[in-house]
Amino acid sequence: GAVVSQHPSRVICKSGTSVKIECRSLDFQATTMFWYRQFPKQSLMLMATSNEGSKATYEQGVEKDKFLINHASLTLSTLTVTSAHPEDSSFYICSARNPYEQYFGPGTRLTVT
Amino acid sequence: AQSVTQLGSHVSVSEGALVLLRCNYSSSVPPYLFWYVQYPNQGLQLLLKYTTGATLVKGINGFEAEFKKSETSFHLTKPSAHMSDAAEYFCAVSDQGGRRALTFGSGTRLQVQP
């Protein structure tokens, strides 16, 4: 099946710094990628939809200036958490869609100290 | 709008017993339905999905689910639980064609007792 990778798998950063998370579709082109966030012991919540070559669409309550999404190519989307704070600590999961199905990445554990 | 309700945040079964995880959905269009499993600190693994056609769907690791339109349900079952089945299970719904993001249920943690 299709493979989606995320990098890094886990990252620890200090409060106030920015962190970039990459999501790559390794063997297919993804016109659409989705970013989800999962807090401990909770379900996945959609943050934003990323379309190649256009601005991301953010869900209500998600700050677009804090969570910057760039979908520069058909195989790469990046999520940058700007001026991270401890409450941003979470598990971030991306998914990439081809015409037939969505495929999930393994997730990135962000811890902000 | 779509939504998913998973009844029971925790389910405990004995090894070898039947596993039944419940999922009900609401959708204004014919849905695509999914079950995913998540092990601690890992991503999601697709167990099975229903798109169209046969309503009884067989997945990996011996799991299966039946789409019942009249009951708006998509319950997950496995005849005999194994210790390795202990994990978090998520039911999800998407619009037909999967063009949009998935909407997830709140999850059910399955414990398997020896």
DSSP string over chain A = ---EEEE-SEEEE-TT--EEEEEEESSS--SEEEEEEE-TTS-EEEEEEEETTS--EEPTT--TTTEEEEEEETTEEEEEE-S--GGG-EEEEEEEE-SS-EEE---EEEEE-
Tell me the mean pLDDT in the region A46-66: 92
- The answer to whether A82 touches A97, Cβ cutoff 8 Å, is no
Q: Which residues in chain A are contacts of B87 at CB distance < 8 A?
A: none
Give the residue from A5, A69, A92, A102 with the most B CB atoms within 10 Å of its CB, the best one to mutate: A102
Interface-testing mutation among B102, B103, B108, with chain A (most A C-beta atoms within 10 A): B102
Confidence grade of residue A51 (pLDDT, cut at 50, 70, 90): confident
Q: What is the pLDDT of residue B10?
A: 96
Reply yes or no on whether the pLDDT at B32 is more than 80: yes
Q: Do A43 and B90 touch (CB under 8 A)?
A: yes
Pick from A57, A58, A55, A59: nearest CA to A72: A55
Record: contact A105-B43, CB cut-off 8 A: yes
Write the residue in B36, B99, B101 that is nearest to A46 by C-beta.
B101
| Mean of all residue pLDDT scores within chain B | 92
Distance CA B36, CA A113 (A): 31
Give pLDDT tens digits for B37-63.
999 878 899 999 998 889 999 999 999
B interface residues, A as partner, C-beta within 8 Å = 36, 41-44, 46, 90, 94, 98-107
pLDDT for the residue B96: 64
In sequence order, the β-bridge partners of residue A10 are: A109
Q: Which two tokens stand for residue B61?
A: 């690791």
Say what the pLDDT of residue A101 is. Answer: 80
Question: What does the DSSP assignment read for B18-66?
Answer: -EEE--EEE-SSPPEEEEEEE-TT--EEEEEEE-SS-SEEE-GGG-EEE
pLDDT at residue number A21: 98
**pLDDT tens per residue across span B93-102:** 987 666 678 9
pLDDT of the residue at A41: 82
What's the average model confidence in pLDDT over A80-87? 97
